[in-house]
Homo-oligomer: A and B are copies of this chain.
Amino acid sequence: MSATNKPSKIYLAGPDVFLPEPLKLAEAKKKICAIHGFEGRFPLDNVIENFNPNKETGLRISQANEVLISECDSVIAHITPFRGPSADVGTAYEMGFARARGLTVCAYSNDASSFADRTAISSGPLSRKVSCGALLDRDGLEVEEFDMVDNLMLEGGVLASGGLVAINDVPAAERYTNLNGFEQCVIHLRQLVERGVALRN
């Protein structure tokens, strides 16, 4: 960060906005970013006027988020499984958006169980297809087995962008709030910058 006066911006993606105290978590994340020379940008930084529970407001929020991502150099996505075996879909959308815009994408999960084990809980029992050995859920839908944290597009996008996937097991009460993995991602980004790697291509 020493080469410029403007700190590199990290978009803070995740289901954090749905937590009871989203701004508290946002502040904690921004503080960690600042310690390592970055500026964290949180979806709720956008001021949404005339907020109403309708499509028009939803559309304005989504577009404000897309603009915010486009102004950043990297993303740290919180991909702890959310209402099922996989990450929050809004976060997944933002990871893909950021990747296509050339940002470095990192991700952290506070659930270290395997994708297959999580799928077994939500959609098990699992079985093997006799003809080819593919792993199937109870509805006969195939379960990916690439030793990845979630659907291959998520980890694939992170790895291809030069980012880090940080996986940690944390106490249940800290499932959505523990920031150890988040800080590992920030440190990864810092090390890239220190090595002269551009976070945005």
Contacts and interface: CB of A to CB of B under 8 A. Distances in A.
Contacts of A20: 140
A87 B95 CA distance: 15
A7 to B, nearest CB: 23
B151 A93 contact: yes
Contact of A92 (B55, B83, B96, B148): B96
Interface residues of A, number: 60
A111 interface: no
Contacts of A90: 92, 151-154
A70 B160 CA distance: 15
Contacts of A122: 83-84
* Interface secondary structure of A, over-half rule: helix
Interface string A136-159: 010011111111101111111101
Contacts of A160: 59, 62-63, 66
Contact of A85 (B19, B62, B84, B142): B84
Contact of A87 (B63, B65, B89, B144): B89
B62 A157 contact: yes
A14 to B, nearest CB: 12
Contact of A97 (B18, B59, B88, B96): B96
